[in-house]
Chains A and B, each alone.
Chain A
Amino acid sequence: MGEDIHRLRKPASEDDWSRGPADGLPLVEYLDYQCSHCQAAYPVIESVLAELGGRVRFVVRHFPVASIHPQAKGAALAAEAAGRQGKFWEMHRRLLEARGALSEVDLRRYAQELRLDLEQFDRDRVDESLSAEIREEKLLGVRSGVNGTPTLYIGDVRYDGRISGEDLKAALLAELNGS
């Protein structure tokens, strides 16, 4: 039997999209915007953050599962491209609240609603370096033990519990109070 603890190869850092205090306990989510479990986890995570937000630093990383979710990578690129215009989290919310409406027309509509520079948005989404970053991020996820989406890490240890408000909050509190 191997060791059962899976750790982030690359702990949360300045390179990540993050919300919450810089010295907060990292909660890292690997997600796929086309994944229904990620869409379902979104309000759960948001409500836990609302309760513990002052002490938790929430980080999002991409893990588009292309073989079953053909629009996932395009959605991740849209979030990153919005990020280049300072609207990563706004786009992140849109994409999850869209519950799967992630066609090209949808993505451009969200960009428009967020008042992004559309030409820039379109250019950035086909920027090969952005695609390469997402690939790299996903591979690091695999190396860290991401085994489906969403996969969460508390600190740098994979969280294998249920993604319910109660369980997740309890796990975060245990870590916050224990260390």
Chain B
Amino acid sequence: MAALNVGAKAPDFELDGSTGKTKLSDLLASHGYVILAFFPASFSPTCTDELNLFQEVSGEFAKLGAQMVGISVDGKWAQQAFAKQGNLEFPVLADFHPQGAVAEKYGVLRSDGTAERALFIIGKDGVIRYSYVSEIGKNPGADRLLEELEKMTAPA
């Protein structure tokens, strides 16, 4: 299964999570850009580092008009505990029922039932502007996200 690519329409969804129910189209309407960060499992070491880094960089994302959203197949209570542990202020969503349904729509559901470590930047029009699937054990960092957002927001 291949991840949705640049130019594809991002499937809308509504999921519960660390900050309550969150709908993609609402976030797009209020923020402009949404960064969707799929990750395999809450509390695993790489995911913890990755999401803590995104929290550290959230101010920079905000300056570029982007809202970070984490998403994995873990349940809502796990996401709440995970967000609390890392002081994650952005929504961490539970793609839990049916498990992995949103990951599947984005083409990033793995055969073991977890999501790939994947990043999407979605524009206000709901179109995917950036799509990246990382090696599963490798934290992708935030440098590419910032570069891509800067390109998108640069005055023409």
Contact = CB atoms under 8 A, between A and B. Distances in A.
B19 to A, nearest CB: 15
Given A1-B132, A1-B133, A68-B87, A147 B53 contact: yes
A67 B143 contact: no
B141 A147 contact: yes
A6 interface: yes
Given A148-B49, A148-B139, A2 B86 contact: no
Label chain A's interface by main secondary structure: loop
Nearest to B144: A2
A114 B88 CA distance: 37
A65 interface: yes
Contacts of A2: 132, 144
Interface residues of A, number: 17
A5 to B, nearest CB: 11
Interface in A111-132: none
A8 B144 CA distance: 13
A95 to B, nearest CB: 20
Contacts of A170: none
Contacts of A68: 52, 85-87
Given A66-B56, A67-B56, A142 B144 contact: no
A1 B140 CA distance: 11
Interface in A95-149: 138-139, 142-148
Contacts of B8: none
A160 interface: yes
A147 B50 contact: yes
7 contacts: A1-B132, A2-B144, A67-B55, A67-B88, A68-B85, A142-B60, A142-B143
Interface of B: 49-50, 52-53, 55-57, 60, 85-88, 132-133, 138-144, 146-147
Interface of A: 1-2, 6, 65-68, 138-139, 142-148, 160
